[in-house]
Chains A and B, each alone.
Chain A
Amino acid sequence: MKRALIVGGGSGGTILANSLDRHEFEITMLSSSFGHLFQPALLYVAFSHARARVVRDERSLLARHVNLLHDEVTSINLKKKTVTTRNGVLFPYDYLVVATGMHTDTSQIPGLSEINAEFGDYHSSLAKAERLSYHLDGFRGGTIAIGQSSPIIKCPPSPLEGVLLTDQLLRKRGLRKSSRLVYFTPYPRPYSAEPMNEVVEPLLEERDIEVMTFFDVKRIDPINRTIFSIEGDKIEYDLPIIIPPFVGANILYEPADAVDEDHFIIADKSTLRIKGTGDAFVVGDASNLPTSKAGVGAHLQAKVVAKILSGHPATFDGRTSCPFDTGDGRGTFVIGSYEAPVTKARPTRIKHLMKTAFQRIYWISLRGTLNPAFDVYFKLTAPKKAAATGN
């Protein structure tokens, strides 16, 4: 029996654990958390008062044969094939899969920790999303500045979803005319990839949302309520909704060059093997793969690694399919892959319903029982490869 050790209990780790054959592997998952958060729901907790069950016990999501241990991994030795935890326990492995995700780091930007503690955000935790919801409830007019403070982000459409849902919320409450909405982004255009930007930019104009491009947050002055960019611009705000920078898990690796400056794991973009190894893999947001950090990536990567571990050839093609709520009951999907740049897809009510429906089936999808349906969906929506990549 081969020992498969999975570090991290998010989407990728859970799907992988449930996908491996129990007759072939002794599966152990190490997770520092008892609860499993459905992260996309934080958007609706913050902007729509969603109160659905967004956290479930990780144990309840895993097949019975998966050995779940709650401990924090502090170091991984890829040469000796061992993992060490905060409690000093050493785990040898035959196969390792790192699925530690990424987390927000407000310390990177002066002033952001104070702002984040006061106003919350919709990417860090349920408590922070509830904090933001509280401040949106209390908003009575003025300037809301909303955007991402760093180019590395979880779910690329989420900053725009935030500003479009804020607009919707203010209109519902009769506050839109007394409010100014400013969207800032480090990119040259509101949506980073041009084809989707062609969909998004008219929406922002139509809804009177101001856009500041090439706005990479340098520091925040909480006393004078001003955000400054590296590029030399500034925004004065009454309510700041700032998505913090993200970093990988704080784990010590041997060799140290298995991770980059932000602790993201360097891996082969097709086989997902961690640099310099044959038996250690990464799935989900923990890697520095040149693809979007989103749940769908974790899902597809977990399936690829499960196949490789079982001796079947498989590769990850960089596929993304990020649901994008554009407000007013409409939505779209941002679809692309390594060889197929993101395509233009107009928002519709059906796509919004698909996003809403996924929230209901997420927990079941972790078990793998819906894989045949997902396979059909991914096949039907496969992006066309471009002869030469471009905007």
Chain B
Amino acid sequence: MNQTSGRTLVDSRGSSCPGPITDLAIAYRRSKVGDVIELWATDPGVKADVNAWATKTSNQIVSIDETGEKITVIIRITKR
């Protein structure tokens, strides 16, 4: 986990389920409203999990991009 001024990079590439959602939960625990979490993953299951997580926590998914095997999810923390 790499954190710089309100933006946290979470690199979960190569980690299968539940690795990415675990890493996201840890980053969320350490975040505050206004922060941005950028999650990198290769497990395709991360898309469904992150969508369910954002719905439950009322946080905002800014984007989900796939480049090759890499999935990049940008999340803005709007509720803590």
Contact = CB atoms under 8 A, between A and B. Distances in A.
Contacts of B49: 188, 391
Contact of A261 (B1, B12, B43): B1
A391 B16 CA distance: 8
**Best-buried of B18, B22, B56 by chain A (most CB within 10 Å):** B18
Interface magnitude class on chain B:
20 to 34
Contact of B69 (A290, A386, A388): A388
Given A192-B21, A192-B22, A338 B45 contact: no
Contact of B44 (A188, A193, A342, A388): A388
A390 interface: yes
A390 B41 CA distance: 11
A341 B16 contact: yes
A231 B29 contact: no
A338 B18 contact: no
A278 to B, nearest CB: 22
A389 B16 contact: yes
Contact of A290 (B19, B25, B45, B79): B19
Interface in A364-391: 386, 388-391
A391 B43 contact: yes
B43 A188 contact: no
B57 A194 contact: no
B74 interface: no
Contacts of B48: 391
Given A188-B53, A260-B1, A216 B28 contact: yes
B17 A193 contact: yes
A186 B52 CA distance: 12
Contacts of B30: 261
Nearest to A153: B22
A9 interface: no
A222 interface: no
Main secondary structure on A side of the interface with B: loop
Contacts of B43: 341, 389-391
A290 B14 contact: yes
A214 interface: yes
B45 A390 contact: yes
B45 A230 contact: no
Given A261-B1, A341-B16, A231 B26 contact: no
A151 B49 CA distance: 15
A1 B37 CA distance: 49
Nearest to B55: A214
A308 interface: no
B42 interface: yes
B78 interface: no
A152 interface: yes
Given A188-B52, A260-B1, A391 B17 contact: yes
A231 B79 CA distance: 9
B80 A230 contact: yes
B1 to A, nearest CB: 7
A388 B29 CA distance: 29
A386 to B, nearest CB: 8
A141 to B, nearest CB: 31
A341 B22 CA distance: 15
Contacts of A232: 57-58, 79
Given A151-B22, A231-B57, A390 B17 contact: yes
A389 B26 contact: no
B47 to A, nearest CB: 10
A8 interface: no
B29 A187 contact: no
Interface in A105-162: 150-152
Q: Please give me the 5 A-B residue pairs with the lowest Cβ-Cβ distance, nearest first.
A: A391-B45, A192-B18, A290-B15, A341-B16, A214-B56
18 contacts: A150-B29, A188-B53, A193-B18, A214-B57, A216-B25, A216-B28, A230-B80, A231-B57, A261-B1, A290-B12, A290-B14, A338-B14, A341-B43, A342-B16, A389-B17, A390-B17, A391-B45, A391-B49
Interface of A: 150-152, 186-188, 192-194, 213-214, 216, 230-232, 260-261, 269, 290, 336, 338, 341-342, 386, 388-391
Given A151-B26, A187-B18, 8 more contacts: A150-B26, A186-B25, A193-B16, A231-B57, A232-B58, A261-B30, A341-B17, A389-B43
